[in-house]
Structure formats: C-alpha cells, structure tokens
Homo-oligomer: A and B are copies of this chain.
C-alpha cells in the first residue's frame, strides 16, 4: 500500500515542513482553499502544542510522525508523538471568546482552532504514543474529473 509519511524532529523549526506536507495532502484530496487552510491550521496548532508543552516543557525530545490517507469521502491526517500523554479533547471549548482581550488569559485558543478546522478530531494513546487524528470531508467528485 502506498504510504505518505513525514517524520520530523519535535521542534518548532519543523512546523513549516508539516504545513507543506498537509497542504500537499489537501491538494491530493482536492479540498478547497478554505478547508485546506483550516486543516493546515488545525495540525499546526496541535503540533506546536506537542513541541512546546509535550516535549520542551517536559524536558523531553523526540520525533513527530505525520501521515495522510485519502479515501473517497475523507482526508485523514494522523499525528504520532512520544511526548507527554495529552488528550486535546479534554480541553473544554473556551466560553470567553466574546470577552475583550484584556480580560482573557493568554492562550487556550490553539486547541479550539484545531477542533474547529476539522469535521472530526480524535485522540488515543497507544503503545506509549499520542495519536491525534484529523478528519475532513472531501468535496463531492464531479463526473468529469
């Protein structure tokens, strides 16, 4: 089976390579510009968190593996890391989005944006690795494609 995988060191310099890879996946899946941007943002947010909170703040080092799969109806992105176990789904949706900035704590927006940018977002911890899954619906195919 054909594989699409990118493995990068878990540092912030890798974010650009991941975004390019996800953009490529979105092109393969024929997502429109807006869905593509949102998905790239989702993955970028989650991976920035893995690097900052999961690896750096915990004094850990390791790789991040990103893969994608295109099925007739969905594009699926899988992200694996060996950083601190963390389930972004446990992070509650911020309820202060309409507050003025000066009354908001800095942060808490990354996970929110990540979930907003996908149709389905899943997390599991397996074999010592975090596994985040991003699923986006593909546009209906036109017959003359």
Copies assembled: 2
Give chain B residues whose Cβ lies under 8 Å from the Cβ of A13: 28
Q: Is A84 an interface residue (CB 8 A)?
A: no
Asked if A7 meets B4 with Cβ closer than 8 Å, knowing A17-B20, A17-B24, the reply is yes
Q: Is A16 an interface residue (CB 8 A)?
A: yes
Chain A residues 53-104 with CB under 8 Å of chain B are 61, 63
Within the assembled complex, what's the spacing in Å between the Cα atoms of A17 and B29? 14
- The 8 A CB mask of A1-27 against B (1 = contact, 0 = none) is 011111111010110110011011001
User: Contact at B9–A20, with CB atoms within 8 Å?
Assistant: no
* Cβ 8 A contact of A9, one of B2, B6, B17: B2
